Amino acid sequence: MKFSPPLKSATLIKRYKRFLADIELDDGNVLTIHCPNTGAMTGCADPGFKVWYSTSANKNRKYPQTFELAQNNQNHWIGVNTGNANKLVVEAINDEVISELTGYQHCQTEVKYGEEGSRIDVMLTGPGRSDCYVEVKSTTLLIEGTGYFPDAITTRGQKHIRELMAVKRQGNRAMLFFCVQHTGIENVSVADFIDADYAALLKQAVAAGVEIVCYGCDIDNTQIKLVKKLKFALP
């Protein structure tokens, strides 16, 4: 996924009200930008971090600039726009980067499914193959080389796991895909110390045959690209 034009940089002053961030430009001016991330963003939005932002051509937007990337004090690149995760996965499927998801004829997004009124992020279908339901999670919480999900309690995430288990029981493929948008993350696990209920459900899902797949990204101010498989381990 390319950023065109390339992102511009600034210094983060603070992120607040979940969807806003104040940044300081090189000329000293302060700008309020949109922050497209509902999570805790722990370790991803500390004051003083370098911010990389895009600018929308939509003149009706109250905040035309969007917080896309951060760089921490270790110079790791972090994709903070969670809306990019699904796009990255679809792009990687089309480019046959994800070996676990090759060979399907059709790729759909945001398809309604399940008994709890959900929409699956990606649905893959094709003749002679079981339908594959893929739930995508953007992962950016880093602790000592390991990426953890979730970074906050998520009842919505718990619902998604229940839906995936139901899909698997019906004879389809069900996959939880961790899209790791943090160049410092080397492997992935579930954050049982943040959401014990989510972790317990995930363990049930793995036992029931739900697939867990993790891929990491190459990131800079011109593009993000899903490139490498990462290991996943339950705590």
When divided into structural domains, the chain yields a total of 2
Tell me, yes or no, whether 160 and 139 share the same domain. Answer: yes
Tell me, yes or no, whether 180 and 154 share the same domain. Answer: yes
Structural domain containing residue 71: 8-79
Q: What is the predicted pLDDT for the residue at 115? A: 87
Tell me, yes or no, whether 128 and 165 share the same domain. Answer: yes
Mean pLDDT by 10-residue block, N- to C-terminus, for the chain (235 residues)?
Answer: 97 96 98 95 97 96 97 97 97 98 97 92 95 98 98 95 97 98 98 98 98 99 98 96
Q: What is the predicted pLDDT for the residue at 140? A: 98
Q: What is the predicted pLDDT for the residue at 38? A: 87
Tell me, yes or no, whether 88 and 72 share the same domain. Answer: no
DSSP track, the chain: -B-SSPPEEEEEEEEETTTEEEEE-TTS-EEEEE----S--TTTS-TT-EEEEEE-S-TT-SS-EEEEEEE-TT--EEE--TTHHHHHHHHHHHTT--GGG-S-SEEEEEEEETTTTEEEEEEEE-TTS--EEEEEEEE-EEETTEEEE-SS--HHHHHHHHHHHHHHHTT-EEEEEEEE-BTT--EEEE-TTT-HHHHHHHHHHHHTT-EEEEEEEEE-SSBEEEEEEEEE---
CATH number of the domain where residue 67 is located:
2.40.50.580
Mark which of 27, 47, 79 sits at the end of a domain: 79
Tell me, yes or no, whether 101 and 163 share the same domain. Answer: yes
Q: What is the predicted pLDDT for the residue at 138? A: 97
Tell me, yes or no, whether 110 and 189 share the same domain. Answer: yes
Q: What is the predicted pLDDT for the residue at 107? A: 98
Tell me, yes or no, whether 60 and 99 share the same domain. Answer: no
CATH number of the domain where residue 203 is located:
3.40.1350.60
The verdict on pTM exceeding 0.85 is yes
CB 102 within 8 A of CB 96: yes
Residue 68 in any domain: the answer is yes
Tell me, yes or no, whether 74 and 88 share the same domain. Answer: no
Mark which of 58, 79, 100 sits at the end of a domain: 79
Tell me, yes or no, whether 72 and 188 share the same domain. Answer: no
Tell me, yes or no, whether 137 and 180 share the same domain. Answer: yes
Mark which of 27, 58, 79 sits at the end of a domain: 79
Tokens read off for 232: 């996943």
Residue 71 in any domain: the answer is yes
Residue 175 and residue 165: Cα distance in Å, rounded? Answer: 9
